[in-house]
A and B are shown apart, each in its own frame.
Chain A
């Protein structure tokens, strides 16, 4: 099966089989190589690199890559589109203490267990203010992506990653985490020629549902309807959370509920997740999402209003316009741009900004409004919010959210991790 990912290259998979991994760990230990224990943020991106979510990246970026990404929106090769730096940071003190030098092979551990090999080819510094300005368009640390950038330690390590120890994905995420290769196999089984990606970090209301339905109808075009030749991939971003976000478990299970309860036919709908800490980089993140979903095997990607934005940092349609600036053929996925869907009391239906002529009567689906209703424990009308999705939110709040469907300090402290790395044996 064809496994060509972003940049026109074969999907990267840098994962050692168990026997080889056991042998390598013994060798590394015998050679007394240096070790570094990584935090969750880095462990997440190591998995993304190793399984090809970030293809054609084979490791953490070198300085040449980061500079090209922030200045030209390409990797250091000058042609592969890339918009967000993927970096491994370390403090000068820790670097000195470890004794790590350029061209060292380092054993990375996570929660104390062997995790990956890091072939360090570059040790460098970055001007984080410059990175912030060029990626996020602002240097304000109120912006969560900028804040993350400023929190990086002062040194960076670049080089290839090889995974030694596959993750155990914990419930309820187990069946939703598919590697890019596994996703492509799933699409093939389903007979899909067209795969539309819906990016989400939300529990769905019918505005989202109609966004997907509209994209499906629009993109299906003149393909034969004898059997479903296309489907919708809901790919939820599961990663670092802020208080007030929906809890991860509710996001993934409520998305799935739309298919389970027939709002989408089972054979045209699939829910999966990608481990990614949202950067809220608006247009730059939209480009990143396009690259990522190309790797998953998607043919189309939906971009709504204020895609991956935060606050008022981006114009609602910046994330659409940025695609016009890309050289033709540099992305292997077709963007589908959406305006808003709203409820119109005159049309008496959920309708599209580009169709309904009762703009002054519209009732918008603002996330804040829906959240306000859910926080009151009030079940909205089914035209606005599917009752099965509402019931699932309430179930998740009890089961996973310590009584709350939204992230609390309690949840951040006590939730079960999405993945764990066990002993290698």
Chain B
């Protein structure tokens, strides 16, 4: 079995897609469910635990999606903006640091 990446799924609407395209990052998305696009932001087990602690509403869905769910939309927006800024999916350390303060 492939190593788990405990992703946070950021679903892509037109607004987010435009930002990604402008930054040349449209290829970061993958298609699920009838053309719906998503960015799966990977986390290490350690990052996952920190996220769950910082956002008590969030939970890791081990049963079905194997992803971190229930993250508030505004928080996902912040993660998304970091991805666009850094042109990379490797943003969780920076993100966690910014919210831990």
Contact residues, B7-37 vs A (CB, 8 A): 9-13, 32-36
Q: How far is the CA of A187 from the CA of B67 in the complex (A)?
A: 44
Residue of B nearest to A406 (CB): B70
The SS class assigned to the A binding surface is: loop
- Interface residues contributed by chain B, number (CB under 8 Å): 20
Contact residues, A53-101 vs B (CB, 8 A): none
A375 proximity list for chain B (CB < 8 A): 69-71, 73
The SS class assigned to the B binding surface is: mixed
Interface string of A343-379 (1 = CB under 8 A from B): 1010000000000000000011110110111011111
With contacts A377-B13, A379-B13, A380-B33 taken as known, whether A369 is within 8 angstroms of B73 at the C-beta atoms is no
Of A244, A363, A376, the contact of B73 (CB 8 Å cutoff) = A376
B84 to chain A, nearest CB (A): 16
Residue of A nearest to B10 (CB): A376
Check A380–B36 contact: CB distance below 8 A.
yes
Check A376–B33 contact: CB distance below 8 A.
no
B69 to chain A, nearest CB (A): 5
Check B73–A381 contact: CB distance below 8 A.
no
Of B11, B65, B76, the contact of A368 (CB 8 Å cutoff) = B65
Q: Give the interface centre of A312, A368, A371 by most chain B CB atoms within 10 Å.
A: A368
B76 proximity list for chain A (CB < 8 A): 376
Question: With an 8 A cutoff between CB atoms, is A384 at the interface?
Answer: yes
B64 proximity list for chain A (CB < 8 A): 364, 366, 368-369
A265 proximity list for chain B (CB < 8 A): none
A384 proximity list for chain B (CB < 8 A): 33-34, 36
With contacts A343-B33, A363-B34 taken as known, whether A368 is within 8 angstroms of B10 at the C-beta atoms is no
Question: With an 8 A cutoff between CB atoms, is B49 at the interface?
Answer: no
Check B63–A244 contact: CB distance below 8 A.
no
Check B13–A343 contact: CB distance below 8 A.
no
Check A377–B73 contact: CB distance below 8 A.
yes
B73 proximity list for chain A (CB < 8 A): 375-377
Question: With an 8 A cutoff between CB atoms, is A175 at the interface?
Answer: no
Question: With an 8 A cutoff between CB atoms, is A383 at the interface?
Answer: yes
Check A376–B34 contact: CB distance below 8 A.
no
A350 to chain B, nearest CB (A): 8
Q: How far is the CA of A412 from the CA of B28 in the complex (A)?
A: 39
Question: With an 8 A cutoff between CB atoms, is B94 at the interface?
Answer: no
Q: How far is the CA of A182 from the CA of B9 in the complex (A)?
A: 46
With contacts A343-B34, A381-B33 taken as known, whether A369 is within 8 angstroms of B65 at the C-beta atoms is yes
Q: How far is the CA of A343 from the CA of B12 in the complex (A)?
A: 19
Question: With an 8 A cutoff between CB atoms, is B61 at the interface?
Answer: yes
A368 proximity list for chain B (CB < 8 A): 61, 63-65, 69
Q: Give the interface centre of A372, A380, A381 by most chain B CB atoms within 10 Å.
A: A372
Q: How far is the CA of A375 from the CA of B11 in the complex (A)?
A: 9
B34 proximity list for chain A (CB < 8 A): 343, 345, 363, 380-381, 383-384
6 sample A-B contacts, Cβ–Cβ < 8 Å, listed by A number: A312-B63, A363-B33, A366-B65, A378-B12, A380-B34, A381-B34
Q: A-side interface residues toward B, CB under 8 Å?
A: 244, 312, 343, 345, 363-366, 368-369, 371-373, 375-381, 383-384
